[in-house]
Amino acid sequence: MTVTGTASVATAATTAPTDWLDVTDPSYGAVGDGAADDAPAINKALAACPSGGVVYLPAGTYAVARPLEIPSGVTLRGTHGNHLQPTLSSVQPRVDFSGQGLHATPDDVTLNPAVIRFLDKETWDYNVLPDGHSSEQRVVDISIDGSRLPGGRTFNGGTGPNSGSNTVDGIQAYGLVHSVVLQDVSITGVGGRGIATPHHTMATSGANGAYSWRGTRIVASHCGGHGFSLSMTDCTWIDLEAIGCKGSGFYVVNASNSQFIGCRAEFNEVHGLQVTGTWSSGQGAGGCSFANFSTDRNNNNGVYVDAQGTSPVLFNGLMLRRDGSYKGAGGGGFAGLKIQGATTPVVVSGVTVFPGVEDDGSGVNSPQYGVAATGAAFVSVTGGYLQAAQAPVRDGGSNTVFHVDPAVGRMFGATSAPQMAPSSP
């Protein structure tokens, strides 16, 4: 009886769970050596994984020559997503990476290629959940390392962003993809955008857009496009960082009913955050909130709003520092917060703008302005401290409502010798 019982226990212990698939298992054959193309093995495991299951990448560098396509309800999990050591559990597009996935979309000729893709049910997703949507894909503890792509860069690969000689996105969604979860993900050195939900696909494919995503602790660094290019509603993003990207750190279109909490954008070549495009105007439209959002030394404005629509945008606790560097020249009309021709109401509760120069002491003190508005429908700023090289507040004219509370602190001039500016209603 003892022998029989022991054998039974041993058999149970060696039986692999059917909902946890290791890509290095001989059934799939990934090697994770940074050389062999592991895309076929990983995609095979993803296709075989049941809804609710996990496809697991042990520590290693998984070189891929084509996109990884994750179906509904499946988690792609590594061991460690870290932008300082991206090889701990890394998916690395090879120099011969092709954007052609296993399943073609109607917009593939215009879409950037992407390392990881989520596709809507009309395009491919056979594993849709009971609601009929492509949904509940998850990426956890994964780094995407674009350093081997043409012009790719690593986080510590020198100054400046990716050269942009490739257009590969890190993670991309096509069409209606609902309730994606991203956690502890790092995207470094791709030539396109870090995370992208291309807005134009909705018109060309006839599908609705992505919505109701959740993302926590995500880094997009040294990308050739925007760090986060997000066109989706009803989402929650916590602790996102965009650093050293060639576009804006955050490029946000129609994020109604969404919130960004504790995010930051630093040393990006355009704006730290751009709130832009056409937003909702219907009865069910909701606003978007940014809480404890910080910027530092972005080339243009720290936060730039030119969105069209009637959904309000709320900023609560902005920390905007040394933006408007303008490649070291300063000036340029840039500001910590700039609203240009926006019809969306902009409500700011608590904002600090503080100027400065480069880390090595070079460059000109910037930004030129603290808060600037031109042609805006409604801007209200209450609570804060505004210090800028030339003026803390600039009214560029043609604003319907532009109100900066008199209690907001206003300073200008050099960081080491600030001068007080007058307050006015």
Residue-wise pLDDT for 34-46, tens only, equals 999 999 999 999 9
Q: Tell me what pLDDT residue 206 has.
A: 41
If you search the block for the tokens 């609710």, which residue do you land on?
52
Name 385's bridge partners.
352, 409
Of residues 180, 280, 190, the one with CA closest to residue 237: 180
Q: Is the pLDDT of residue 107 over 80?
A: no
Q: Is the pLDDT of residue 85 over 90?
A: no
Token duo for residue 73: 């309800």
Q: Does the bond joining 367 to the residue before it have cis omega, within 30 degrees of 0?
A: yes
Token duo for residue 321: 């520092």
pLDDT band at 64 (very low <50, low <70, confident <90, very high): very high
Q: d(Cα 19, Cα 26) in Å, to the nearest integer? A: 16
Token duo for residue 382: 């209450």
If you search the block for the tokens 């998850």, which residue do you land on?
138
Q: What are phi and psi of 177, to 5 degrees?
A: -125, 115
Q: Tell me what pLDDT residue 202 has.
A: 41
Token duo for residue 53: 């299951």
pLDDT band at 417 (very low <50, low <70, confident <90, very high): confident
Token duo for residue 26: 């001989």
Average of pLDDT values for 277-291? 84
Q: d(Cα 369, Cα 302) in Å, to the nearest integer? A: 11
Q: Tell me what pLDDT residue 205 has.
A: 38
Q: What is the pLDDT of residues 117-169, one digit of tens each?
A: 998 888 888 888 776 789 999 999 999 999 999 887 765 544 445 555 789 99
Q: Tell me what pLDDT residue 120 has.
A: 87
Q: Is the pLDDT of residue 13 over 70?
A: no
Q: Tell me what pLDDT residue 198 has.
A: 65
Q: What is the pLDDT of residues 317-349, one digit of tens each?
A: 999 999 999 999 999 999 999 999 999 999 999
Q: What is the dihedral of CA 113, 114, 118, 122, to 10 degrees?
A: 10
Q: d(Cα 103, Cα 124) in Å, to the nearest integer? A: 6
pLDDT band at 4 (very low <50, low <70, confident <90, very high): very low
Q: Is the pLDDT of residue 108 over 70?
A: no
In the chain, where are the structural domains located?
Answer: 2-420
Q: Are 300 and 270 in contact (CB under 8 A)?
A: yes
Token duo for residue 303: 């936060």
Q: Are 315 and 348 in contact (CB under 8 A)?
A: yes
pLDDT band at 204 (very low <50, low <70, confident <90, very high): very low
pLDDT band at 60 (very low <50, low <70, confident <90, very high): very high
pLDDT band at 87 (very low <50, low <70, confident <90, very high): low
Q: What rounded mean pLDDT belongs to the chain?
A: 88
Q: d(Cα 177, Cα 344) in Å, to the nearest integer? A: 26
- Please tell me the CATH code under which domain 2-420 is placed: 2.160.20.10
Average of pLDDT values for 83-92? 73
Q: Is the pLDDT of residue 104 over 50?
A: yes
Average of pLDDT values for 174-200? 88
Of residues 74, 90, 93, 94, the one with CA closest to residue 82: 90
Q: Tell me what pLDDT residue 289 has.
A: 97
Q: d(Cα 81, Cα 87) in Å, to the nearest integer? A: 9
Q: Are 210 and 229 in contact (CB under 8 A)?
A: no
Q: Tell me what pLDDT residue 122 has.
A: 82
Q: Is the pLDDT of residue 307 over 70?
A: yes
Q: d(Cα 38, Cα 23) in Å, to the nearest integer? A: 9
Q: Are 128 and 157 in contact (CB under 8 A)?
A: no
Alpha carbon distances (Å) from 295 to 84, 317, 358: 20, 12, 14
Higher pLDDT, 135 or 424: 135
Q: Is the pLDDT of residue 15 over 70?
A: no
